[in-house]
Structure 1
Amino acid sequence: MVENPDAKLALVVDDSEMQCKILKNLLIEEDYRVLTCHDGARAVALYIEHLPDLVLMDINMPVMNGYEAAKRIKSLSPNSLAPLIFITSLDSDQAFVDGIEAGGDGILTRPFSPEVFKAKIKSIQRISNLYTQVKTLQQEQQQDAELAEQIMSGVIEARNFALDRIGIIKQAAALFSGDIQLTALCPGGNINVLLGDFTGHGLRSSIGAIPLSETFRVMTKKGFSLMEIIDQVNRQLYELLPVDLFCCVCCVTISSHERSAYVFNAGLPDAYIFNQEGKIKHKVESNHIPLGVMPGLLAHAQLQVFSVEEHDRVVLISDGILEARNHEGEMYGNKRFEYAAKQGFYQGDIPGKVFDAVNEFCLGRPQEDDLSLIDVPCDGWEQALTTGESAHSQAVSEMHDLYLESEPSWKWQLSLTGQRLALVNPVPMAMGQIQEIEGNGEHWNNMYSILTELYVNALDHGILRLNSELKNSAAGFAHYFMVRESRLKNLATGRIDISLSYHPLTSGGKMIISIADDGEGFDLEGFYKQQTKLKQVGEDKVMLCGRGIDLVHQLSEKLEYLDKGNKVQATYVWAK
């Protein structure tokens, strides 16, 4: 009988030449090519050389018995089934148990009929074929997963802002990480940061990462507040994710301009604010359930506000760091993290030091959860806003038609009253209208800052009647924010009118911004007197109020307060 060169290859191992011949002929009838040998050591050598699809192994043989040969063969094929059947005359339970423990996939006891032998071969081959199909599918899934992970990384991580200044590090427990780290620049020069930890890890846990990241970036770019972004993210996750999948998040807005950090922690470990000496200034506990659990945020949901100084740092971590275990089952915990973070502060590398310490603590124990850390400096972000101002001023000086009266090419107006003042943020609406008509441009960042400061002043001081002097201390600023949130929730009266008037210029454009409220008015002269008084206290006195008006003065070509201070008009000019 001529062997088929494409047939599967079998290896028959028996110290009896007659038994080898009988088994070989039976296998050839089943369309196998066959190798034979007469001891276990030779069988191992032939297996390494030819990698057969099936092995038939006698137990009692010279040089190396069948049990030992089977163990070595199985150790050489950890990623394949390599079916191995023991052929023996030992008809005992112990022989069967020993064969299975040695790695055998079955046992045939002599004497047996050719029909029984062939049925056994077909059965084991059917299992082998299924195993091969499963392995092929697994490889295809792995390739697809690796491609998807590359796409995810490109969509999410590669688009993060200021990767040269913000320390971001993660260590996934599987190919896909259930953790997500996002950073984005706000139009006014603030920076938004988000650390998220989806339920579990792997591909399933990361399915909400793309919608979360897109919502976070788009709304940040349009100038929505952090609470508005969080509320929208929660609604999206609730609608998109299965009921057993949700996301713990910690979100932070860092404002160099206000020297403040706004923090919202929903289910993650404490967020840390370190001072310039590496000491812990604040530990911000979670005060909200994870996002995606309920259709809306809890009624008490609000930001926590903290005063920050130059060289302060905000550090966010996932629970995978604190819950990492060593071989004794002991968790890494807060104290070890805080010590490692402090050492990293001194060495200028908090993420690197913390991860080195965690890995050293675990000593190679398999990782149970994703590990993530974000380290954000609290100073220097306002530079993103003021870059290019000298060039802007030079261009403005060349606009000969700047002060000529002209009809606006378009106007936009909006009036908000009563509870709508608490529910609607008109700044992103206004900026969206501007960009829809005039297109995108970096100069709109300054426009956003002017519009935001003037609207917030009208709302806070004109409608809510908040005293800005509260913001002259860290504790006072937090109290100011708390009172503001309380008054907004109970707001029933009041009115603010916003008007934008666009005038095209030869080399750029001019926008006249007018905002009026029906409050008691704003004493501009008194404000400047108070500012002068505060500055005379000394250079070490931190003044958290008044910077908004100073910023608007710097960015505007002209700033006027009319009536009793109820109406303000700013003229912003830019060059193409």
Structure 2
Amino acid sequence: MSRSQMLTRLATHNDPDASRARRVLVVEDDASLRLLLSAVLTSRVSEFELEVSEAPSFKAANAAMQDQHGFDLVLLDNYLGDGEGVDLLPDLMAAAKSWDRAFVPVIMISGNHDQSFLASCFSRGASDYVVKPFDVNLLAFKVNALLQSQTVQEQLAEQNSLLLELIAEREQEESMARFAYDYLLRRTHLVDQGVFAQVVSCSAFGGDLVLSARTPGGRYLFMLTDATGHGLSAAITLLPLVRVFQGMAQKGFGLQQILIELNRHLLSDTPDDRFVAAICLELDPLRDEIKVWNGGMPALLQVGQDGSVMSRVCSSHMALGILSDDLFDVALEPLSLVDTHYLLMVSDGVTEQMSPEHQPFGHRRLEMCLRADPDITLDVIMQALEHFRASEPVMDDLSVCVVAPQRVLQSLSDDSMKDELDPLTSLRHHSPFKWQLSQAGLELGQHRVPLLFSQFLQEMGADQALSERVFTILAELCANAVDHGLLGLDSQIKEQVDGFTTYLALRDERLSQLTDADRIDVLLSWTPTGENSHENAGLIIEVCDTGEGFDMQEIQKRQDRMMSGRGLVLVASLSTQLEVLPPGNLIKVRIG
């Protein structure tokens, strides 16, 4: 039976056997009285179709009870020629179980008025008692009432059985969903050095999720999300978000591009009434900077060395999954790392948690929990929440995240490319190699080249630090070649209000117009150390596009005045030598 069928049965209280004939056994040794009882049943019990069977003795009644179809009601005389009816009651109760009846009523018929005898009948399982001589109308009324009660009992038993099936099916589905959900969290929920996070769900599934990822270029991305609603429906909303976040981070996309794609997927893959509030961080060890995006979450607190609040980054954006591309804003707010000890982020379940006196925890209590040591702050907040809510249940998913940027950046920099004394150590004894790749037309929008070359280097034996360095260099050079060399985009657009969204929209439009004649060529070559000299040792990266080129000196002047468009400055800091060859469409970089 399908779930919809079970639900229909539950909703309509439909008993599949309600229309069947009811089988009644009359146990009476007096033939005339037996005939009277049968006549009363067939003529005066009109609400049910009855099949009446007769047993003239104790022995015959025992034999009738072996009938596999069983009976729905028994009229039982006590004084039988070969025994007493009261002694049949235990066997009747046992037989009822084999007949698959939830309830088999028995009406005792006797002239005995003794109270102790009546008590014995009821204690052994009798449902009612009729004293001889009896009124036939009263007997018919009792039979009708007991059969109706039996019908209700059967319906309840049927509904309970269906309900247990539904519960078992739901538990099985939730168990499978929980397994998949936990597996997803194990693959995506990374708590790194300098990051302290705790999530408490108000049900088996949660709508709050902490995500972190490191891009191939060495940037660290962090996201705290709060999906609409609670339980499984909220958790399911996060599935497309997790997939996109992890996939794009692995390919080296920046936070702004990831946010745009997350918003698109939530708009297309989830119902209209579902959205995801989020607060996101992007930490870049190469630039020593941190940027924040807050869409619909409580304010991020920037905490100083003494545990005091230096600034608050309030929500200035709509949550993900609400606005279309042309209205969605991905502007990031930069934060100064000077004197920043840690950043505190919470979901609204924390500030809105109620006490037994129906008071919210609030922002003031949250800030009172701040401590100079970020390691302690998380525990202090969770303990304060536990004490505050006392006996009150967790009303919403609770998430508390503490990020110490300097610790995160330090952990990223310990093995990073800019701290490597000899970035070519892992290739020093490798034979020469050269790999060239061309990409043209619509494929240029896929951002595959940096990742492919980074993976190629790792296959050739390069360590992670060098692979990340090459990825970062190629990401900047390929973006420069496509955006400026082929598409003719101006980085100054990003400096305007909503400039990044405008820039990406214009980029998508011009990308769609590219042909196979529009191409970039990338060359990676390794020349190992010579026998007597280190002069020729080096890793060479060349990126050439089919565009018209640009004036490098003019670009450098503009970069000094702009927040964006500083990619070549970063490339120069990661390389030994950088050359832009005339007419400006060929850039050559040397490491080593």
TM-score category, normalised to shorter length: 0.5 to 0.7
In structure 2, the residue matched to 1:138 is 167
Residue 262 of structure 1 corresponds to 291
Out of 415, 424, 430, the residue aligned to residue 393 of structure 1 is 424
For the Cα contact (< 8 Å) 1:504–1:510, is it kept in 2?
yes
Matched, 1:447 2:466: no
C-alpha distance after superposition, 1:299-335 (max 9, x if no partner) = 5442222222476322221111111111121111111
1:283 aligns with 2:306: no
Give the TM-score taking structure 1 as reference length.
0.65
After superposition, give the CA deviation of every residue in 1:363-407 in whole Å (9 maximum; x if it has no partner).
1212221111222221223335339945753344435758xxxxx
Output one character per residue of 1:126-149: Cα deviation in whole Å (capped at 9) or x when no partner.
203321331242133224313322
Question: Partner of 1:175 in structure 2?
Answer: 204
What is aligned with 1:411? 437
SS, match of residue 392 in structure 2: coil
- Residue 179 of structure 1 contacts residue 198 of structure 1 at CA under 8 Å; is this kept in 2? yes
CA shift in 2, pair 1:181/1:401, >3 Å:
closer
For the 8 Å contact 1:182–1:193, the answer to whether it is kept is yes
* Secondary structure, counterpart of 2:241 in structure 1: helix
Q: Equivalents in 1 of 2:154, 2:498: separation in Å?
A: 75
- Partner of 1:356, secondary structure, is helix
Distance in 1 separating the partners of 2:325 and 2:565 = 35
Match of 1:522 in 2: 553
SS in 2 for 1:350: helix
Please name the residue that 1:430 is paired with: 449
Residues 554 and 427 of structure 1: CA distance in aligned 2, closer, same or farther (over 3 Å):
farther
**Cα deviation digits, residues 74-127 of structure 1 (max 9, x gap):** xxxxxxxxxx999899xxxxxxxxxxxxxxxxxxx9995244314312321320
Residue pair 2:96, 2:104 contacting (<8 A) in 1 also: no
Could you tell me which residue of structure 2 aligns to residue 186 of structure 1?
A: 215
Q: Output the amino acid matched with 1:374.
A: C
Q: Map 1:129-528; keep pairs closer than 5 Å.
A: 129-296=158-325, 298=327, 300-309=329-338, 312-340=341-369, 342-343=370-371, 345-346=372-373, 348-379=375-406, 380=410, 381-386=412-417, 389=420, 392-399=423-430, 401=432, 408-412=434-438, 428-434=447-453, 442=464, 443-453=466-476, 464=490, 485=500, 488=503, 499-503=521-525, 510-514=539-543, 518-522=549-553
Could you tell me how far apart the structure 2 residues matched to 1:137 and 1:338 are?
46
Give the match's secondary structure for 2:553: coil
The one-letter amino acid of 1:28's match is M
- 2: CA distance, partners of 1:88 / 1:360: 60
**Which of 87, 93, 113 is the matching residue for 1:28?**
93
Letter in 2 for 1:365: E
Distance in 1, matches of 2:154 and 2:452, equals: 69
CA offset digits 1:530-557 (Å, max 9, x no partner): 9xxxxxxxxxxxxx99997786456435
Q: Distance in 2 between matches of 1:29 and 1:558?
A: 95
Matched with 1:471 is none
| 1:230-252 residue CA offsets vs partner (Å, 9 max, x unmatched) | 11111111111112222112222
Cα deviation 1:11-63 (Å, max 9, x = unaligned): xxxxxxxxx959947963971489xxxxxxxxxxxxxxxxx98799xxxxx9x
Instruction: Describe the SS at the equivalent of 1:302.
Output: coil
Deviates more, 1:505-514 or 1:351-360: 505-514
Distance 1:113 1:486 in 2: 80
Describe the shift of the 1:427–1:397 C-alpha distance in structure 2 as closer, same or farther (beyond 3 A): farther
* Distance in 2 of aligned mates of 1:365 and 1:371: 14
Residue of structure 2 equivalent to 1:534: none
Q: Which residue of 1 aligns with 2:157?
A: 128
Cα RMSD after superposing both structures: 5.1
Contact kept, 8 Å, 1:171 with 1:370, in 2: the verdict is yes
2:419 and 2:290 map into 1 onto residues whose CA distance is 26
- Describe the shift of the 1:204–1:401 C-alpha distance in structure 2 as closer, same or farther (beyond 3 A): closer
SS in 1 for 2:229: coil
Residue in 1 that maps onto 2:579: 560
Secondary structure at 1:209 match in 2: helix
Which piece of structure 1 moves more, 286-295 or 224-233?
A: 286-295
State the SS of the aligned residue for 1:298: coil
Q: Which amino acid aligns with 1:451?
A: L
How many matched pairs?
A: 462
Structure 1 residues 483 and 203: CA distance shift in structure 2, 3 A? closer
Query: Which of 1 and 2 has greater Rg?
Result: 2
Partner residue of 2:47? Answer: none
CA–CA separation in structure 2 for the residues paired with 1:369 and 1:436: 43
Shift of 1:409: 4.1
Question: Is this contact kept in 2: 1:305–1:481, CA < 8 A?
Answer: no
1:265–1:286 CA contact under 8 A, matched in 2? yes
Aligned amino acid, residue 437 of structure 2: K
**CA offset at residue 173 of structure 1?**
0.9
**2: distance between equivalents of 1:259 and 1:181?**
23
Query: Displacement of 1:162 after TM fit?
Result: 4.2
Question: Any idea what the Cα deviations from partners look like across 1:388-434, whole Å, max 9, x if unmatched?
Answer: 945753344435758xxxxx542336799xxxxxxx99693422453
SS at match of 1:278: coil
Distance 2:398 2:129 in 1: 53
**Structure 1 pair 86/138, CA: closer, same or farther in 2 (3 Å)?**
farther
Letter of the 1:242 counterpart: P
- Give the deviation of 1:276 after TM superposition: 2.8
Contact 2:304/2:341 (8 A) holds in 1: yes
The whole-number CA distance in structure 1 between the counterparts of 2:265 and 2:313 is 25
Measured at CA, do residues 265 and 347 of structure 1 come closer, stay the same or move farther in structure 2, by a change above 3 Å? closer
Aligned to 1:474: none
Q: C-alpha distance in 2, partners of 1:450/1:375?
A: 31
Q: Distance in 2 between matches of 1:159 and 1:489?
A: 27
**CA distance 1:506–1:362, change in 2 (3 Å):** same
Distance 2:419 2:376 in 1: 31
> Aligned letter for 2:522?
L
Please give the alpha-carbon distance, in whole angstroms, between the structure 2 residues aligned to 1:546 and 1:558.
19
